[in-house]
Amino acid sequence: MQQVVFGIVAALIVFAAVRLVTTRNLVHGALYLLAVLAGAAILFLLFLAEFVAWVQVLVYIGAVVVLLLFGLMLTRAPIGNMALDSQTRPLAAVVSLAIFGITSTIVWKTFKGQTVHFSKPNTVDTLGRAIFSQYVLPFEIVSVVLLAALVGAVVLARKEE
């Protein structure tokens, strides 16, 4: 059952990801990104990371994609056929293929034969306890990073007086 779901979702992700980096239409690109993120969210659900999945839906799909769409509109990017690829495209293809080959070889060698066992899903309760006891310091630091990013984004994007 899980394998079937995984297969379908994996196919969706692969398709959407490839279309994202090859599409000629910027807004379509954003929608393909949405599809990839939704697929990842389903994977999280499948791997019993319920809370991460909902955060993915809320933060990524809800906020990040909208932010990207805003970015597209604010930069008045020409929607339609345009040279969306740079001259580095052949180089990019070679490099990414090489990386994929290498990493997948390593992964295959290392994890061959190991299988995932689906145990009882963890609740938000346990995850929350982990974050606010053991990982409370990283959590606080991340919040400071967010604040700094917020301030930085405002300072950068603000119009000069």
How far apart are the C-alpha atoms of 157 and 151, rounded to whole Å? 10
CB 30 within 8 A of CB 68: yes
160 burial level (CB within 10 Å; 0-12, 13-18, 19+): exposed
Among 136, 135, 124, 30, residue whose Cα is nearest residue 38: 30
Helical axes 2-22 vs 26-46, angle rounded to 10°:
160
How far apart are the C-alpha atoms of 19 and 28, rounded to whole Å? 9
Nearer to another protein, 127 or 161 (CB): 127
Q: What is the DSSP letter of 121?
A: P
